[in-house]
Structure 1
């Protein structure tokens, strides 16, 4: 492995230059514990592994493979995702801290099988170099096959199908958690006891989005969907009778529930004034561009259910798999507890006078402090 730089150890803690301190963490937040930059010219790997906190245990979070505009964007994404995993794992009462990895898609990427294997082999060696401080799994752009390749070089990986044992793709569990959260939100905010006839807009029909569409369709919801992949859109139209909108219109669809299931920061000062949903609850990580955007949603009377609370089903699945505790029925029962956590959050928000987003952050951070 070439050019491995552990930023949080290599740069003196006393450094005060803005350009350097921004590498440690997010504005107005304590620094991340470790930020590892990895470059492997032989495979083309450029990756960032961010360990936000190990207060509750080893940092656990998936690996994203994405075409970033630039390296600074990739770093920001890694830092935001890692912090989100700390909050997510704490809220799910898992014995893990928060971390995340992003791999920058190489220029001219052809997705050749041998090329991909070499890339994820190099990534596996990077994970191993952290000695168990970070455990990886699937995320946007990565697959169970990628994790099998990573497994050839480190044991600090999960989300892998195992013969005769629980494991594999966590996306159905993520989707189920979002589904039960939507049920809870509809019951409390819309005063409806079922999803029959509830209009739900799904932004993004990847693995999680399509599973969520299936769960919602089975419950009688009416679906409005958008995705950049026309094949996925056609599938949703055929399977669920979904109404299709262009990707640039889905956020402003007139629906009861908006479920962002693509990438983050979609709820921002530009998009929030255009929303015509009453609830936002989706699988995408870091949906709020800034904490103030949660306040803006609340001011408009829109119930925002924080992503790290509702999309924790996937990490519950891979965490139980990693610990050898997994069993389908038990894991699904654990994921279903997201429904009760949503209702508890809404009670906490009412009692404290905070928005649900602020109350959720306070709740999660109290769990981190307790650790």
Structure 2
């Protein structure tokens, strides 16, 4: 019997609670889209923010599916460029739409998926897209830097929080494009960052030194005719020396979908349709299945993936899909209640890769 619904996770009506749903319709791809059977889903901090009713007030909806990062197999394609059976990774606007990664299936725009090359596993690929594109968005859209061109002047760029997933990928993008990277992160991230070309590292553990030698120093030491730009990934304004030539901006990667999503109400002034279209164009340039810049970099091993931990990997080795999705609920509530994960990225194994994909068939 054909399945019409799937398991998925949405936010509950109570603070800190996620709900495993079994009544979510399996989405149908339209022209230019693909249906993906999700194998792995990566966990990101905003997934837990969606369980905080005050923090997510601007975009909460009990039917929005949580999760943004995924890797999987294309099981239905309405695109000439992405074939059935393709191994892909992608990020989707989970937490702020009915398109989320914590589910059995998801529909993606074909131009926004990335082919996973043979030298990369699906489990690692699931840890990449959302953080990578958040970093790309911050650098290219937020700061106006050209990540697809070499900077011959070795322009210095400070990454505060370089040990986070976004900071790690931002550091790599900047290094590959010729910028001078100044990194502030926890001491445990030092060697990991040095391995991807970061030479200017200041430990966050010594906060006075980090501030004196990095962020505040960068601003105070600028000549009066110079301009400075700080772009943040959170709406809170950074505490730095205020200068007339200092510009501080905040934006969200979700503009790269090209769609006016509820979460974008957090960004003021609101983006115009032209802005969204331009940001989407940049995302497509880096995606485009096997034609985009990211696929080519992955194929050449130019981008290093942040270390991952598969959530409860041994305990769930012989579990079914329902048990694995229920374990994601546990991990989300774990973070929402203030607990911290180990260094690196958490990835959830949702389904096994089968030799024969019985797409949409019912049964155990």
Q: Note whether the superposition's TM-score is higher than 0.5.
A: no
TM superposition score category, shorter chain reference = 0.3 to 0.5
TM-score for both structures, normalised by structure 2: 0.38
More strand by percentage: 2
Q: If each structure's helix is expressed as a fraction of its own residues, which one has the higher value?
A: 1
